[in-house]
C-alpha cells in the first residue's frame, strides 16, 4: 500500500494523508462497477438526466467547499476555483439536456430500398486518468457525457489532489447515482497500468503529459482498447497589424496567466506582426504588471504559486537553458528557492530555434514573444511545433482571419478571443497534443458502440 499526502503548496502544510486501496479493495471496486453497469445501461435518459441535474445542483450548493479544496491542494486562486466548479455544473446540465438527442438512433434509407439504423450503445467501465491543474473540470467533462451515455466511470486522479478525487465521487453519490457508477481510486501509476489491462475496463481517457499519454496509449493498444488523449500544448496567439492591439494584449495576459499558466490551452507563444510588435509588447508588460500576487484564499489575488516545487524548478531550467541559447530575458526568470512553488511571471523574446522555449511546452507563467514580418510567416511559425491543441488569432478582418485559421494546425482556433473549452464545442488536438474529442456531441460519441442494424 502507498501513502498519499494532500499538501498545500502555498504553505507546505500536510493537510491529510491517505492509504491507497489494497488489491482486494480494487477488485471489489471493479466488481462493483461491472455490476452497476449491468443495471445502469438499462436506465432511461430521463432517469440519468434527473441524477445529473442533481449533481449539477450539488456542485452549486457546495461550491465554496469544493472551490476551497481546489485552492488548498493545488494553489489556484479562490476566484478561479469557484469558476471551475460553476463550469462543472454547466457541463452536467448540458449533457443532462442533450444526451438523448445526441445518441438518438440514426435512420438511413439505402438506395436499394432497404433501411438501417445506427444505434449508440455504452461500452462498460471507462477509466479516466486525470491531471491536477483543473482537478474538478477535467473530470466532469469526462464524467458527464460518459455516464449519460450509460457507461460507468473509474477515476485515477493525480496524486497531489486526493481530496478533490474523493469529493468528486461524493458529488455523484450525494446526487443519488447508484453504487459503482462512479468511483475514485487513489492508486499509483503501476496499478493504473494493471487496471488498463483488466478485461473489465473497456476504454481509457487521459488528460496529462505527453509521456503519460504515450504510456497509457501503449497499454491500451496492447490490450486492443480505445484510448482518448488530451495532452500538452504550446498554443500560438497571433496578433496581426490590423488587430485591436490593446484588447489583444489584455486578453493575452489573461490567457497566459489563467491558472498561473498551468493550462494546456493557455496561450504560450505570442506571434506578433512587426507593425504592432512594440505596441503589443508594451501593453502586454503593463497589463502583466497589474496582476496581484497573494494567498490562494485572497479574494483579490490574481495568482499565487505553482502546484509543486519541482514544477517551478523544471520551468526555471527551461527558461535558463533558453537564455543560455540566446533568448532575451525581458522580465522575471529568477531561480526559485529549493522546493519552493513560487515562480515570478516571466517574458522571453528573441527565442532561437535551438532553445527549449521554442519547441517545448512551458507549463507555467512564462510568455514567449516572437516578431514576424507578415501573416504567412506567422502561420508558418505557429505550425512549427510538435503540438496542435488550440490557437488564437487577432485581426479586424474576419474573412482573412477565417482563411488563416484554416491553415493553422490545431484542434481549434479562436478569432479575436482567447482559446477556451466550452461544452458546446469539440475539444482536443492534433499532432502530439493527442487524439479524440471531448465535449459537444463528439465527446459523448467517443465511448459508445455505434452499431449498425440493417433492416432488409
pLDDT in tens, the chain (456 residues): 689 999 999 999 999 999 999 999 999 999 999 999 999 999 999 999 999 999 999 999 999 999 999 999 999 999 999 999 999 999 999 999 999 999 999 999 999 999 999 999 999 999 999 999 999 999 999 999 999 999 999 999 999 999 999 999 999 999 999 999 999 999 999 999 999 999 999 999 999 999 999 999 999 999 999 999 999 999 999 999 999 999 999 999 999 999 999 999 999 999 999 999 999 999 999 999 999 999 999 999 999 999 999 999 999 999 999 999 999 999 999 999 999 999 999 999 999 999 999 999 999 999 999 999 999 999 999 999 999 999 999 999 999 999 999 999 999 999 999 999 999 999 999 999 999 999 999 999 999 999 999 998
> What whole-number distance in Å separates Cα of residue 243 and Cα of residue 372?
15
In Å, what is the CA distance from 215 to each residue of 33, 136, 423? Answer: 24, 23, 28
pLDDT score, position 127: 98
Grid coordinates of 367:
510568455
> What whole-number distance in Å separates Cα of residue 144 and Cα of residue 140?
6
pLDDT score, position 2: 85
pLDDT score, position 212: 96
For the entire predicted model, the pTM comes to 0.98
Grid coordinates of 403:
482563411
- HSE value, Cβ hemisphere, 13 Å, CA-based, for 207: 26
> What whole-number distance in Å separates Cα of residue 183 and Cα of residue 170?
9
> What whole-number distance in Å separates Cα of residue 273 and Cα of residue 245?
11
CB atoms within 10 A of CB 216: 24
Grid coordinates of 362:
512551458
> What whole-number distance in Å separates Cα of residue 198 and Cα of residue 315?
36
pLDDT score, position 341: 98
Burial of 41 (0-12, 13-18, 19+ CB in 10 A): middle
> What whole-number distance in Å separates Cα of residue 364 and Cα of residue 357?
12
Strand partners, 293: 303
Are the C-beta atoms of 194 and 217 separated by less than 8 Å?
no
Strand ranges, E, within 157-207: 182-184, 201-207
Burial of 151 (0-12, 13-18, 19+ CB in 10 A): buried
Are the C-beta atoms of 203 and 225 separated by less than 8 Å?
yes
Residue labelled with grid coordinates 514567449: 368
Radius of gyration of the chain (CA): 23
Task: Report which of 398, 22, 379 is spatially closest to residue 244, judged by C-alpha positions.
Answer: 398
Q: Give per-residue burial for 267-279: e unless 16+ CB within 10 Å, then b.
A: bbbbbbbebbbeb
**Active-site residue, from 230, 273, 375, 409:** 230
Kind and range of the H or E element at 3?
strand 3-7
Among this protein's residues, is 305 annotated catalytic? no
pLDDT score, position 272: 99
**Active-site residue, from 264, 305, 409, 446:** 264
> What whole-number distance in Å separates Cα of residue 416 and Cα of residue 266?
15
Grid coordinates of 171:
458529488
pLDDT score, position 456: 84
3-class DSSP assignment, residue 434: strand
Amino acid at each position: 500500500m502507498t501513502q498519499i499526502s494532500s499538501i498545500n503548496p502555498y504553505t507546505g502544510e500536510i493537510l491529510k494523508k491517505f492509504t491507497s486501496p489494497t488489491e482486494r479493495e480494487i477488485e471489489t471496486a471493479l466488481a462493483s462497477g461491472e455490476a452497476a453497469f449491468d443495471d445502469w445501461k438499462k436506465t432511461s435518459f430521463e432517469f440519468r438526466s434527473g441524477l445529473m441535474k442533481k449533481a449539477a445542483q450539488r456542485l452549486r450548493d457546495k461550491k465554496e467547499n469544493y472551490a476551497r479544496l481546489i485552492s488548498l491542494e493545488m494553489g489556484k486562486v479562490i476566484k478561479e476555483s469557484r469558476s471551475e466548479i460553476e463550469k462543472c455544473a454547466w457541463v452536467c446540465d448540458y449533457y443532462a439536456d442533450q444526451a438523448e438527442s445526441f445518441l438518438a438512433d440514426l435512420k438511413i434509407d439505402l438506395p436499394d430500398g432497404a433501411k438501417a439504423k445506427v444505434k449508440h450503445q455504452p461500452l462498460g467501465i471507462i477509466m479516466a486518468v486525470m491531471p491536477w491543474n483543473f482537478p474538478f473540470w477535467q473530470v466532469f467533462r469526462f464524467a458527464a457525457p460518459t455516464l449519460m451515455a450509460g457507461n460507468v466511470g473509474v477515476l485515477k486522479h493525480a496524486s497531489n489532489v486526493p481530496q478533490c478525487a474523493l469529493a468528486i465521487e461524493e458529488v455523484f453519490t450525494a446526487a443519488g447515482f447508484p453504487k459503482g457508477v462512479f468511483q475514485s481510486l487513489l492508486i499509483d501509476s503501476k496499478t493504473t497500468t494493471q487496471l488498463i489491462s483488466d478485461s473489465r475496463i473497456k476504454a481509457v481517457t487521459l488528460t496529462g503529459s505527453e509521456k503519460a499519454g504515450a504510456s497509457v496509449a501503449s497499454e491500451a493498444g496492447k490490450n486492443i482498447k480505445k484510448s482518448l488523449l488530451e495532452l500538452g500544448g504550446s498554443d500560438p496567439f497571433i496578433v496581426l497589424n490590423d488587430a485591436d492591439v490593446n484588447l489583444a494584449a489584455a486578453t493575452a495576459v489573461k490567457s497566459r496567466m489563467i491558472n498561473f499558466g498551468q493550462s494546456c490551452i493557455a496561450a504560450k507563444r505570442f506571434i506578433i506582426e512587426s507593425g504592432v510588435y512594440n505596441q503589443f509588447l508594451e501593453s502586454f508588460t503593463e497589463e502583466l504588471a497589474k496582476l496581484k500576487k497573494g494567498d490562494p484564499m485572497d479574494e483579490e489575488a490574481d495568482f499565487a504559486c505553482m502546484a509543486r516545487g519541482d514544477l517551478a524548478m523544471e520551468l526555471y531550467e527551461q527558461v535558463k537553458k533558453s537564455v543560455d541559447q540566446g533568448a532575451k530575458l525581458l522580465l522575471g526568470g529568477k531561480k526559485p528557492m529549493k522546493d519552493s512553488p513560487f515562480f515570478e511571471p516571466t517574458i522571453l523574446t528573441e527565442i532561437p530555434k535551438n532553445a527549449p522555449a521554442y519547441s517545448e511546452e512551458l507549463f507555467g507563467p512564462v510568455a514567449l514573444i516572437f516578431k514576424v514580418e507578415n501573416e504567412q510567416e506567422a502561420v508558418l511559425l505557429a505550425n512549427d511545433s510538435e503540438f496542435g491543441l488550440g490557437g488564437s488569432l487577432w485581426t479586424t478582418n474576419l474573412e482573412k482571419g477565417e482563411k488563416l485559421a484554416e491553415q493553422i494546425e490545431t484542434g481549434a482556433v479562436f478569432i479575436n478571443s482567447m482559446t477556451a473549452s466550452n461544452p458546446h464545442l469539440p475539444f482536443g488536438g492534433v499532432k502530439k497534443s493527442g487524439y479524440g474529442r471531448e465535449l459537444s456531441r463528439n465527446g459523448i460519441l467517443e465511448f459508445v458502440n455505434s452499431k449498425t442494424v440493417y433492416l432488409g
